[in-house]
Structure formats: structure tokens, C-alpha cells
């Protein structure tokens, strides 16, 4: 088995696939890339059992064959080459020899038949979405997903596909983000929960992409097909909490302000907050917002005033500054609207501008109890 391929082209594809490989694999074969050669097409796969990704590369060959090549060793080698053709030859002594213009390198390979087969989806439902839109939806929600192993359903992103719109939701019980696209529709209603790792891969690969992504899914797995690549991943099993029930509907107190000024103020003031609660206090009255924080253990305190537009009763409310900054950081708008009802009810953060047609973002942040 022999094939010739460009070094930079191969490296670029393998670096993407390398993101699937886990650092602590239970099966040694998963530390390898699977090379499946069928004449001038080389299918390369990587897996961690929960997610499997494969890409088809154009190579110069007339052979067929399957081998598993050590991923880390191959990537480290490829990174050192300038652009040039590399010749891969599988020898009888269980090594694959790579020839470059500099020299020859031999890597021990494993039997490709040992590599786990990717799951076949039986009778899947299908939805198509632009790659960049999917990457945006993941980027806007993924940061809000939880890390609690005891509540696995909240450690992923909830996909809710309807004939009216596509909705993506993530929450860790302290913050919640709902991202909706009314300009994209599914053929039939379906919902599933995606794990973080495959979503991170998709976000990085599809950002800015014009490729159309075909999403196929059943009760246990989802398959994403785009360009020359396919990603199949196991879904998180369980029922997602009723997120609509926690979004307060009546919010008479409305605060509108400049996003970057608010972000910078919160960031500065939070330096003086308690290192355990990260609590900051917002005090609204008339056209002025007072942001303050205090760390009683070290007698540190800070307060700032911001011009704002405020409708509603004078009130004070406490938030975890880290959650607030994360949310403000994931919005692109110039102005934001913070809607509140009571100091012990969640605040709702939405962008005033900067949204595309059919795009809606709702962010919810739970308050922290203020100590007088």
C-alpha cells in the first residue's frame, strides 16, 4: 500500500481530526488515526468512542488498504515539514515508511481492523443549516452549559428543532442562554442534547464557513456532514429541564445601557469583590446606575456610576460578576437591555441591536442575595 500526499494539506486535515482524540483513552487503538485508502481517496478517522470524525483526502495512489497510525507521532512529524509531497509506503515489517525531501521516517502501525466502527444511524431525521450559523449558535450558548457530572443533561446544549424555528439552549442553573433562529426551519419537530466536546469541534471548524451542514439524528446519535467531513456523536441521554418555566415573563424594570461601558465597569469593580461570591451590586435610580462591590475580609471596595436609560422603580440587585461578564462578552451589540422584576428574581439580558434577520438571543442570570 502506497500513496503520495502534500504535507501541509495532510497536516491541516489531521489537526482538525486530532481534536477528537482523548488524552486518556481506555483502548490503545484510539490513540491512532485510521487510514482507509481506496485508490486516490484516503479516508482518515479519529474516535474517542463517543464521537467519531472522518475526512476524505485526495491523494495520489492506485492501492487500497487499511492501517492505524500513531496520531501524536505523526502530527509532531508533519509539523516540522515545509510544504512538499510525502510518500507513505506500508512495509511488511509492520511499519509505514514516510519519505520526504529530507529523509525517511518509519512509524509502527496497528491493524486497521481493530479500530472501532462508526455508528450507523438507522432511520434518521434530517435538517440542513449553514455552517457559520451553526457555529454562531454553538458559540452563543456553549459557555452557559454546566460541568456537573451528577446532572449530565445540563452539561450539553439542547437542540430544539421545529417547523417554525431552531432553538439552542444551555444552562448551568445560574445562567441560561436561549438562541433562536426563526429564518431556519426543520421538517419535523425533534429535540436532543449534544455533548460539549463535539460542539467545540464543530464551532472551531465551521466558524465563517459557507458550507451547508446536514444534521441527521435519531434518539441516540447525531451525524453532521459538511464539506469532505463527517462527525458522528452519541447524544446525552435524558430529558432537558423545562427552561421556559424559569424565564420570568413580567419584568417592569428595564435598564438600557452601552454594552462595552457596562462590561468595562463590571470588570473593574469586580476586582474589589469577594473572591468567593464575586458579588457586585447594581443600584438603579433615574438615569443613573451605580455599580459597587465590597470585600469585607480585606476592606476592599469600589463603586462606579454609569449614565443609563432606566424605566421602573428604584431597586438594587446583586449578580455574580463573572456570569455577567461572560454574557456581555458573548453579545455583539452596542446596547443591551437588562429586564428585572424583583431583587430575588432572574434578570434577563438581551441585545438591543446587532442581530441578523430572524435571530433572537435571550440570556438569563440568577441574582445573588445582597448582604446589607
| Residues 313 and 207 both lie in one domain | no
The domain boundary residue, chosen from 244, 277, 306: 244
**Where is the domain boundary, 216, 244, 272?**
244
In order of 33, 109, 133, 291, the CA distances from 29 in angstroms are: 9, 10, 35, 55
- Domain that residue 141 falls in: 125-244
Quick one: 152 and 260 in the same domain?
A: no
Do 74 and 15 lie in one domain? The reply is yes
What's the pLDDT score for residue 372? 62
Question: 131: Cβ–Cβ under 8 A, 6 or more apart, which residues?
Answer: 205, 206, 209, 210, 211, 212, 213, 226
| The three grid cell numbers given for residue 280, joined into one nine-digit string | 457586585
Residue 363's beta-bridge partner residues?
Answer: 177, 349
Ordered DSSP codes for 322-350: HHHHHHHHT---SEEEEEES-TTS-EEEE
Q: Which three cell numbers stand for residue 30?
A: 484510539
Structural domain contains residue 119: no
The pLDDT value recorded for residue 14 is 97
| Same domain, yes or no: 172 and 226 | yes
Tell me: do 187 and 215 sit in the same domain. Answer: yes
Same domain, 16 and 103: yes
Verify that 225 and 158 share a domain, yes or no.
Answer: yes
The domain total for the chain is: 3
Q: Could you tell me if 86 and 163 lie in one domain? A: no
- Do 212 and 290 lie in one domain? The reply is no
Q: Report whether 149 contacts 229 (CB < 8 A).
A: no
Q: With beta carbons less than 8 A apart as the criterion, state whether 107 and 69 touch.
A: yes
- For position 187, what pLDDT does the model report? 87
- Laid out side by side, the sheet with 85-90 consists of 2-6, 85-90, 95-99, 104-108
Backbone angles phi, psi at 284, to 5 degrees: -105, 130
Confidence (pLDDT) at 370:
81
Q: How far is CA 99 from CA 38, 41, 96, 109, 110, in A?
A: 21, 19, 10, 16, 19
Together in a domain, 171 and 92:
no
How many whole angstroms separate alpha carbon 204 and alpha carbon 20? 12
Neighbours of 183 (CB within 10 A): 12
The contacts found for 298-307 with CB under 8 angstroms, 24 or more apart, are 300/272, 301/272, 302/268, 302/269, 302/271, 302/272, 303/269, 304/265, 304/268, 304/269, 306/257, 306/261, 306/262, 306/265, 307/257
| Domain end marker among 85, 114, 143 | 114
Per the domain annotation, does 324 fall within a domain?
yes
**Same-domain status, 19 and 95:** yes
137 and 208 housed in the same domain: yes
97 has which bridge partners? 89, 106
- For residue 369, what pLDDT is reported? 87
pLDDT of residue 188: 87
227 part of a folded domain: yes
Q: Evaluate whether residue 40 is within a structural domain.
A: yes
**Residue 153: alpha-carbon gap to chain centroid:** 16
Query: 135-144: per-residue pLDDT in tens?
Result: 999 999 999 9
DSSP annotation string for 244-269: GGGS-S---EEEEEEHHHHHHHHHHH
Q: Are 358 and 184 in contact (CB under 8 A)?
A: yes
Per DSSP, the three-state class of 167 is: strand
Which parts of the chain have pLDDT scores under 50? none
Contact 296, 317 (CB under 8 A): no
Burial status of residue 167 (CB atoms within 10 A of its CB: 0-12, 13-18, 19 or more): buried
Chain CA centroid to CA 171, Å: 13
Start-to-end CA span in the chain (Å): 75
Residue 371 three-state SS: coil
Q: What is the dihedral of CA 209, 210, 215, 221, to 10 degrees?
A: -20
CATH code for the domain of 6: 3.10.150.10
C-alpha torsion angle, residues 52, 190, 120, 109 (rounded to 10): 0
Amino acid at each position: 500500500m502506497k500513496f503520495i500526499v502534500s504535507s501541509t494539506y495532510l497536516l491541516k486535515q489531521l489537526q482538525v481530526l486530532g481534536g477528537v482524540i482523548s488524552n486518556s483513552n481506555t483502548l490503545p487503538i484510539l490513540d491512532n488515526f485510521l487510514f482507509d485508502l481506496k485508490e486516490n481517496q484516503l479516508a482518515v478517522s479519529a474516535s474517542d468512542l463517543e464521537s467519531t470524525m472522518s475526512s476524505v483526502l485526495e491523494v495520489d495512489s492506485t492501492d487500497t488498504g487499511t492501517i492505524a497510525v500513531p496520531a501524536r507521532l505523526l502530527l509532531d512529524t508533519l509539523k516540522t515539514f515545509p510544504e512538499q509531497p510525502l510518500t507513505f509506503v506500508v512495509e511488511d515489517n509492520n511499519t509505514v515508511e514516510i519519505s520526504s525531501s529530507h529523509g525517511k521516517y518509519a512509524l509502527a502501525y496497528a491493524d486497521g481492523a481493530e479500530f472501532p466502527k462508526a455508528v450507523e444511524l438507522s432511520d434518521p431525521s434530517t435538517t440542513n443549516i449553514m455552517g457559520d450559523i451553526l457555529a454562531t449558535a454553538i458559540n452563543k450558548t456553549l459557555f452557559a452549559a454546566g460541568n456537573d457530572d451528577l446532572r449530565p443533561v445540563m452539561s450539553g446544549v439542547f437542540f430544539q428543532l421545529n417547523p417554525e424555528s431552531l432553538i439552542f439552549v444551555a444552562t448551568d442553573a445560574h445562567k441560561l442562554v436561549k438562541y433562536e433562529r426563526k429564518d431556519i426551519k426543520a421538517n419535523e419537530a425533534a429535540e436532543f442534547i449534544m455533548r460539549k466536546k463535539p460542539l467545540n469541534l464543530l464551532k472551531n471548524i465551521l466558524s465563517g464557513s459557507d458550507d451547508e451542514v446536514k444534521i441527521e439524528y435519531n434518539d441516540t446519535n447525531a451525524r453532521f456532514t459538511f464539506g469532505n467531513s463527517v462527525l458522528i456523536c452519541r447524544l446525552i441521554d435524558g430529558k432537558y429541564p423545562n427552561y421556559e418555566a424559569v424565564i420570568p415573563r413580567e419584568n417592569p424594570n428595564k435598564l438600557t445601557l452601552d454594552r462595552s461601558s457596562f462590561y468595562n465597569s463590571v470588570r473593574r469593580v469586580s476586582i474589589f469583590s469577594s473572591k468567593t461570591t464575586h458579588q457586585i451590586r447594581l443600584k438603579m435610580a433615574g438615569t443613573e446606575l451605580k455599580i459597587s462591590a465590597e470585600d469585607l475580609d480585606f476592606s476592599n471596595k469600589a463603586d462606579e456610576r454609569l449614565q443609563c436609560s432606566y424605566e421602573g422603580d428604584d431597586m438594587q440587585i446583586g449578580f455574580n460578576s463573572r456570569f455577567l461578564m461572560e454574557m456581555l462578552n458573548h453579545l455583539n451589540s452596542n446596547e443591551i437591555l437588562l429586564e428585572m422584576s424583583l431583587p430575588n428574581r432572574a434578570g434577563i439580558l438581551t441585545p438591543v441591536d446587532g442581530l441578523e434577520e430572524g435571530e433572537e438571543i435571550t440570556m438569563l442570570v440568577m441574582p445573588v442575595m445582597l448582604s446589607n
